[in-house]
Amino acid sequence: MRSPIRSVFGLVVLLAIWEGLSATGVLDRDVVPPPSEVATQFVVLLGSASFAVAAVSTLLSWLIAITLAALIAIPLGLVLGTVRSLRTFTGVAVEFLRPLPAVALVPLVTLLVGSGAATKITVAAFAALWPIMLNTRHAVGEIDPARRDVARAFGTSRRWMLAGVVLPSIAPFVLTGIRLSAAVALVVVVSTEYVVGGGIGIGQLVAVSGRGAGRMDIVLAGAAFTGLVGQLANVGIIAAQRKWLHWAPAGGSV
C-alpha cells in the first residue's frame, strides 16, 4: 500500500472513530459535531455567497502577505548569507524577533497601519518572513566554494555569478522556506481576523458563528476549509519544486 493511501486511510479511521464517539454520546454533538454534520455544512458553505466573499478576502490577504514576505526575505537572506560581519551584527536581533508571536503584535500594527486587511497582511507577512529569510541565509552559506572558484576562474561577472551559481544553488531552500511560511501566514491571517473582529474573512465568520450562534459545525467546516487550502498549497509547492528544481530533492529546510 502506497504511503499517500496509508495517510488517507489513517484520516478515514480517525473520522470513523470521531463519528462513532458522537453517535454513542461520548462526545456532545452540540459542542463537537460529528464529521457527517461538518461535511454537510462544508458543502453548504461552499455554495454560500457570504462564505465566498470571506474566503476570497482571506486567501487574497494570504497571497499578498506571502508575496511581501518573499520580496523582503529573499534579498535580506542573500545579504546576510554573503556578508558575514552583517550576519554576526544582526544575529541577536533576528533571534529575538523570530519567535515573537505575530498575533500579539496586532494592537500595535492596528495603530500603525489601521484596521482591516492592512493589519492581517502586515502581521502575516511578519510571521512568514523568518522561515524564508533563514532558509535563504543558510543556503547561501552552504554553497560549495568550488563552484564559486570555477565561475571566477572563467571570469564570471557578479551578475552572472548570482544568476548562474547562487540562485540555482539556493532555490530549493528558498522554495522550502516559502512552503513553510505559507502555512504560517495562513494561520496568522485567519487568527488575526478572529482576534481583531469586524471586517471580512474566514476567521471573522468562525468567530461570529462560534461566539454568537454557537454553530460549531460552521466553525469546524471553516477550519476544515482552511486546512484544505493549506494542504493544497503545500502539495502544489512540493510538486513545483520537484518539477522545476529537478537537480535537488524537495527539502532543504533548516
pLDDT at 126 over 90: yes
What radius of gyration do the chain's Cα atoms show? Answer: 22
Q: Which three cell numbers stand for residue 13?
A: 479511521
The pLDDT score that the predictor gives to residue 177 is 94
Higher pLDDT, 143 or 14: 14
The predicted model gives 110-130 an average pLDDT of 91
33-244: in CATH 3.40.50.300: no
Strand, coil or helix: 248: coil
Check: CB of residue 137 under 8 Å from CB of residue 80. yes
In the predicted structure, residue 24 carries a pLDDT above the cut 50: yes
Distances (CA, A) of 16 to 6, 8, 12, 31, 106: 15, 12, 6, 18, 39
Would you state the pLDDT for residue 1? Answer: 43
Q: What is the rounded average pLDDT of the residues 74-78? A: 93
Confidence of residue 145 (pLDDT cuts 50, 70, 90): low
Any idea where the domains of the chain sit in the sequence? 1-29, 33-244
CA distance 109 to 71: 20
* Inter-residue contact 173 to 50 (CB < 8 Å): no
| Residue 189: C-alpha distances to residues 17, 108, 215 (Å) | 31, 16, 21
